[in-house]
């Protein structure tokens, strides 16, 4: 039986460090409460009569009156109020007897709120599972089960044969959960009632978890074994490690072995995966191999399920949690290891509210917790690579594919002056035909959903444009509807050109729907499946769709969704179209993203014993990004790209923060940025020498200057040194709240932005 419920002693050592910092509380102290409001301050409340505001309140949730309504907040501190205590309102209710947030997580969240320039209340509301943030009780999450009472053990010897005796002998060996009994002794419930009536069995919280047998994994190859050894050697102290290895090189086996070592020591492990990677198969693999309960945490669960998972980890009732971005806020009272799989993945960055980065926070927490943080990727982020090359991260590499799988052959197809069918060249269609003839599967991969076809008039050049945004509408439902990907506006496609009345309206550019149609026409007898958000709606939608194909020969058509995750053993050909759109983009991260995508999607071909082939169709076969990738792989690409970033003063050689604002009028946006910039310049002067390398760029119109009817602009702050940026931000952002012009815009600050729009 797992022993992790006994690890309370270990927790205390880590806790001491924080409680030692406890403050002396004055007699007239009040509660300083962080509320989930976009205001950079706490709100003072009185405790109920006769109850002191002592340090035991800090980290507890309270329900408080706020205006005409009530709010749930977290007590951030106790102390004297600026206001007359008698004038303060009292709290309505204390929701936690013990702090819900304490120790390292509490410290890390306070740190993150400062780092991302977010009000603590908003940071906490982001970090807590919804149900808890909304005030739900921290429900009981102990595993309950049946055990034999003292009297039961004594009575067992004298019991007559029958179901009650069979149940009693089972429980004599070990306590069991209802689920286990359902399997082992069908019909046990009436026997349990009989025994319970005589007080021979009890339904109680049982320690540990259902006994499960962990399946052994494959014998690790040398590089895997070295990687596991490096992680295990680092247990118990902070150590960032980068594990680089292409898809199928066996990174997950490394995670599993390292986690097993943690679990065996009674420690907890947190595994972060990209949104798309948390498939039922992935979870099943973890559960099968670890032999302890593995909790999941993702947006497909109900609020209650997520809160329960969070609480079980907080109470050390579970040891392993696998989750997406917001799982980085999981409490780890018995910390062992944090794994971040596909650490370069864009889904780790939150794109609204508090714009945190889960990989970066994982590193911050790992440092606070003094545990290793294992970052895995086939295509590490350039930031991460730079750390590894500077020796700050322990670098581990898996050079070979596990088993006998061979790397795919990559070919560039020059389509200049070649006829295309729905964007597909002759060579590509021939390769697809050959693949189907071999009885295998192919993937036609279209880069970026945003490049879906737009509707143009062949006669006058009119293009269907969104009324609310500076953007083209894209064609959907086989040309019947037009949709704006930016504001969601939709409308029926016009029957004729609104400008010249011509009927020659045509979709331009090949979206997945058009590719699917063209492929169906070209291969009338083959199965062609389009994989996008619509065709994969609902729980496990993608898996259900893939199951319909099974092992048959066929063609999948899709975008980003298909770049990773799901194992497709019969997939041997990957054909990439739309490469060119990614080659020429204003975004400094576009080349990195395209390179990562090309490597990821290539990794889908020939995973099993069959060799794979990858075709890249482009008008720019000599583009350095493509030739670099082809000749030197991601490593060569990264070297040259890091050089470009350094020359241009972009991350990781600079530290950015982006102030964005939007309003219904240009004047409101201009007034806000004028004030914001004056403030920033004044503060920069005050920083004197510390401000060297601190630059403001803009304000400029956002890359999409109008969206959903709002005018948008942005101001970029770049700094050669991170501390200088933080020093400026910590004065600048609080001051922005005070600006009258800030009330007439919607503004936000993005620290370490991923997209500069």
Where do contacts with ligand ADP occur on this chain (CB under 6 A)? 218-221, 224, 245, 247-253, 402-403
Taking phi first (over 0 means left), then psi (-120 to 50 degrees means alpha), and beta for anything else, what does residue 266 get?
left
Asked whether 30 and 88 are in contact (CB, 8 A), the reply is yes
For the bound state, the minimum distance from the C-beta of residue 423 to Zn ion, rounded and expressed in Å, comes to: 23
The partner in contact with residue 234, picked from ligand ADP, Zn ion, none with C-beta cut-offs of 5 to 8 angstroms by kind, is none
The partner in contact with residue 502, picked from Zn ion, ligand ADP, none with C-beta cut-offs of 5 to 8 angstroms by kind, is Zn ion
Q: Does 469 bind Zn ion (CB under 5 A)?
A: yes
Which residue of 110, 153, 165, 468 would you call a contact of Zn ion, by CB under 5 A?
Answer: 468
The partner in contact with residue 460, picked from ligand ADP, Zn ion, none with C-beta cut-offs of 5 to 8 angstroms by kind, is Zn ion
**Binding positions for Zn ion, 592-651, rule CB under 5 A:** none
For 158, the enclosing helix (H) or strand (E) is none
Q: Does 466 bind Zn ion (CB under 5 A)?
A: yes
Cβ proximity to Zn ion: between 381 and 469 the closer is 469
Residues 12 and 366: their CA atoms lie apart, in Å, by 18
The interface mask with Zn ion, positions 418-457, x = CB under 5 A, is: ---------------------------------------x
For the bound state, the minimum distance from the C-beta of residue 448 to ligand ADP, rounded and expressed in Å, comes to: 24
**Where does residue 354 rank: exposed (0-12), middle (13-18), buried (19+ CB within 10 A)?**
buried
The partner in contact with residue 369, picked from Zn ion, ligand ADP, none with C-beta cut-offs of 5 to 8 angstroms by kind, is none
Give the residue carrying structure tokens 């815009």. Answer: 745
The partner in contact with residue 497, picked from Zn ion, ligand ADP, none with C-beta cut-offs of 5 to 8 angstroms by kind, is Zn ion
Q: Is 480 helix (H, G, I), strand (E, B) or coil?
A: coil
For the bound state, the minimum distance from the C-beta of residue 463 to Zn ion, rounded and expressed in Å, comes to: 10
Cβ proximity to Zn ion: between 37 and 460 the closer is 460
The partner in contact with residue 466, picked from Zn ion, ligand ADP, none with C-beta cut-offs of 5 to 8 angstroms by kind, is Zn ion
Angstrom CA distances, 623 to 376, 584, 627, 628, stand at 29, 10, 6, 8
For the bound state, the minimum distance from the C-beta of residue 244 to ligand ADP, rounded and expressed in Å, comes to: 10
For the bound state, the minimum distance from the C-beta of residue 490 to Zn ion, rounded and expressed in Å, comes to: 9
Q: Does 667 bind Zn ion (CB under 5 A)?
A: no
For the bound state, the minimum distance from the C-beta of residue 613 to ligand ADP, rounded and expressed in Å, comes to: 19
DSSP state, residue 524:
T
The partner in contact with residue 435, picked from ligand ADP, Zn ion, none with C-beta cut-offs of 5 to 8 angstroms by kind, is none
The partner in contact with residue 667, picked from ligand ADP, Zn ion, none with C-beta cut-offs of 5 to 8 angstroms by kind, is none
For the bound state, the minimum distance from the C-beta of residue 736 to ligand ADP, rounded and expressed in Å, comes to: 44
Cβ proximity to Zn ion: between 506 and 534 the closer is 506
Number of H helices, E strands in the chain: 22, 31
The partner in contact with residue 247, picked from Zn ion, ligand ADP, none with C-beta cut-offs of 5 to 8 angstroms by kind, is ligand ADP
Cβ proximity to ligand ADP: between 162 and 403 the closer is 403
Kindly state the tokens that stand for 226: 């070295």
For the bound state, the minimum distance from the C-beta of residue 224 to ligand ADP, rounded and expressed in Å, comes to: 6
Cβ proximity to Zn ion: between 424 and 482 the closer is 482
Cβ proximity to ligand ADP: between 248 and 651 the closer is 248
Residues 496 and 24: their CA atoms lie apart, in Å, by 76
Residues 433 and 243: their CA atoms lie apart, in Å, by 38
Cβ proximity to ligand ADP: between 108 and 247 the closer is 247
Cβ proximity to ligand ADP: between 258 and 313 the closer is 258
For 433, the enclosing helix (H) or strand (E) is helix 426-437
Task: Using the rule CB under 5 A, give the single segment among 344-352, 404-412, 461-469, 732-740 that binds Zn ion.
Answer: 461-469
Asked whether 272 and 325 are in contact (CB, 8 A), the reply is yes
Cβ proximity to ligand ADP: between 362 and 754 the closer is 362
Residues 308 and 293: their CA atoms lie apart, in Å, by 13
Q: Which residues pair with residue 614 across a beta bridge?
A: 410, 574
Cβ proximity to Zn ion: between 466 and 729 the closer is 466
The partner in contact with residue 383, picked from Zn ion, ligand ADP, none with C-beta cut-offs of 5 to 8 angstroms by kind, is none
Give the residue carrying structure tokens 């071909």. Answer: 605
Sign, CA torsion 594/597/601/603: positive
**Binding positions for Zn ion, 485-524, rule CB under 5 A:** 486-487, 489, 497, 499-500, 502
For the bound state, the minimum distance from the C-beta of residue 755 to Zn ion, rounded and expressed in Å, comes to: 18
Give backbone dihedrals phi and psi of 412, rounded to 5 degrees, phi first: -95, 130
For the bound state, the minimum distance from the C-beta of residue 392 to ligand ADP, rounded and expressed in Å, comes to: 23
Give backbone dihedrals phi and psi of 300, rounded to 5 degrees, phi first: -75, -10
Asked whether 663 and 706 are in contact (CB, 8 A), the reply is no
Which residues make Cβ contacts (< 8 Å) with residue 575, sequence separation at least 6? 424, 428, 431, 432, 442, 443, 444, 445, 614, 615, 617
**Binding positions for Zn ion, 283-302, rule CB under 5 A:** none
Cβ proximity to Zn ion: between 456 and 556 the closer is 456
The partner in contact with residue 218, picked from ligand ADP, Zn ion, none with C-beta cut-offs of 5 to 8 angstroms by kind, is ligand ADP
Residues composing the chain:
757
For 455, the enclosing helix (H) or strand (E) is strand 454-457
Cβ proximity to ligand ADP: between 222 and 685 the closer is 222
Asked whether 305 and 331 are in contact (CB, 8 A), the reply is no
Can you give the C-alpha Rg of the chain in angstroms?
29
Q: Is 711 helix (H, G, I), strand (E, B) or coil?
A: strand
Q: Does 483 bind Zn ion (CB under 5 A)?
A: no
DSSP state, residue 190:
H
Residues 32, 36, 42, CA angle at the centre, nearest 5°? 25
Report DSSP letters for 37-62, one per residue. SSSSS-EEEBPPTT----GGGTT-EE
Cβ proximity to Zn ion: between 569 and 703 the closer is 703
Task: Using the rule CB under 5 A, give the single segment among 115-123, 326-334, 413-421, 459-467 that binds Zn ion.
Answer: 459-467
Residues 285 and 252: their CA atoms lie apart, in Å, by 10
Residues 101 and 89: their CA atoms lie apart, in Å, by 24
Binding site for Zn ion (CB under 5 A): 457, 459-460, 462, 466, 468-469, 484, 486-487, 489, 497, 499-500, 502
């Amino acid at each position: 039986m797992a022993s992790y419920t006994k690890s309370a002693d270990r927790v205390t050592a880590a806790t001491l460090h924080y409680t030692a910092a406890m403050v002396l509380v004055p007699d007239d102290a009040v509660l300083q409460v962080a509320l989930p409001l976009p205001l950079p301050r706490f709100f003072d409340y009185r405790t109920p009569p006769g109850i002191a505001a002592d340090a035991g309140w800090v980290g507890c949730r309270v329900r408080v009156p706020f205006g005409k309504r009530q709010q749930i907040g977290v007590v951030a501190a106790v102390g004297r109020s600026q206001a007359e205590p008698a004038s303060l309102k009292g709290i309505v209710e204390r929701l936690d007897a013990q702090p819900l947030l304490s120790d390292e997580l509490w410290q890390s969240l306070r740190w993150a709120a400062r780092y991302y320039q977010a009000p603590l209340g908003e940071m906490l509301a982001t970090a807590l599972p919804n149900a808890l943030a909304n005030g739900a009780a921290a429900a009981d999450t102990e595993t309950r089960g049946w055990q034999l009472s003292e009297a039961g053990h004594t009575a067992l010897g004298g019991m007559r044969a029958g179901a009650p005796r069979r149940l009693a002998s089972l429980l004599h060996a070990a306590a069991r959960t209802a689920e286990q009994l359902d399997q082992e002794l069908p019909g046990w419930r009436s026997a349990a009632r009989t025994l319970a009536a005589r007080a021979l069995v009890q339904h109680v919280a049982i320690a540990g978890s259902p006994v499960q047998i962990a399946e052994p994994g494959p014998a690790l190859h040398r590089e895997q074994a070295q990687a596991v050894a490096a992680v295990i050697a680092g247990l118990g102290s902070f150590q960032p490690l980068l594990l680089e290895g292409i898809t199928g090189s066996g990174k997950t086996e490394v995670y599993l072995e390292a986690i097993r070592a943690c679990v065996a020591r009674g420690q907890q492990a947190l595994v972060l995966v990209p949104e798309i990677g948390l498939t039922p198969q992935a979870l099943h693999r973890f559960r099968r191999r670890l032999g302890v309960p593995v909790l999941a945490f993702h947006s497909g669960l109900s609020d209650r399920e997520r809160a329960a998972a969070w609480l079980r980890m907080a109470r050390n009732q579970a040891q392993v949690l696998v989750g997406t971005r917001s799982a980085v806020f999981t409490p780890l009272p018995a910390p062992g290891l944090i794994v971040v799989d596909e650490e370069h993945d864009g889904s780790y960055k939150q794109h609204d509210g508090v714009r945190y980065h889960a990989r970066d926070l994982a590193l911050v927490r790992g440092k606070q917790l003094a545990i290793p943080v294992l970052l895995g990727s086939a295509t590490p982020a350039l930031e991460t690579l730079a750390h590894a090359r500077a020796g700050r991260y322990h670098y581990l590499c898996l050079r070979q594919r596990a088993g006998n799988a061979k790397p795919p052959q990559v070919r560039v197809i020059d389509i200049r002056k070649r006829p295309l069918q729905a964007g597909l060249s002759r060579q590509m269609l021939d390769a697809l035909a050959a693949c189907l003839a071999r009885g295998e599967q192919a993937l036609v991969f279209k880069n970026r959903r945003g490049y879906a076809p737009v509707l143009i008039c062949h006669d006058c050049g009119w293009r269907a444009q969104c009324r609310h945004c500076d953007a083209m509408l894209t064609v959907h439902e086989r040309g019947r509807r037009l949709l704006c990907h930016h504001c969601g506006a939709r409308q029926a496609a016009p029957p004729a050109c609104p400008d010249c009345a011509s009927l020659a309206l045509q979709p331009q550019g090949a979206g997945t729907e058009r590719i699917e149609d063209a492929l169906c026409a070209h291969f009338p007898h083959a199965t062609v499946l389009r994989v996008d958000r619509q065709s994969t709606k609902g729980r496990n939608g993608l898996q259900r769709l893939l199951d319909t194909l099974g092992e048959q020969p066929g063609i999948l058509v899709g975008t980003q969704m298909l770049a990773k995750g799901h194992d497709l053993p019969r997939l041997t050909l990957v054909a990439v179209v739309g490469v060119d759109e990614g080659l020429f983009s204003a975004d400094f991260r576009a080349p990195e993203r395209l390179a990562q995508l090309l490597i990821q999607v290539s990794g889908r071909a020939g995973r099993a014993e069959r060799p794979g082939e990858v075709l890249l169709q482009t008008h720019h076969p000599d583009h350095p990004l493509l030739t670099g990738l082809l000749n030197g792989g991601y490593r060569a690409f990264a070297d040259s790209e890091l050089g470009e970033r350094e020359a241009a003063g972009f991350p990781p050689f600079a530290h950015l923060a982006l102030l964005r604002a939007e309003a219904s009028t240009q004047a409101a946006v201009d007034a806000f940025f004028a004030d914001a910039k004056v403030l920033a310049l004044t503060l920069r002067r005050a920083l004197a020498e510390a401000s060297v390398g601190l630059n403001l760029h803009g304000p400029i119109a956002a890359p999409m200057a109008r969206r959903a009817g709002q005018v948008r602009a942005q101001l970029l702050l770049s700094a050669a040194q991170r501390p200088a940026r933080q020093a400026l931000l910590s004065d600048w952002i609080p001051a922005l709240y005070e600006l009258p012009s800030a009330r007439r815009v919607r503004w936000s600050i993005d620290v370490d932005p991923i997209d500069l729009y």
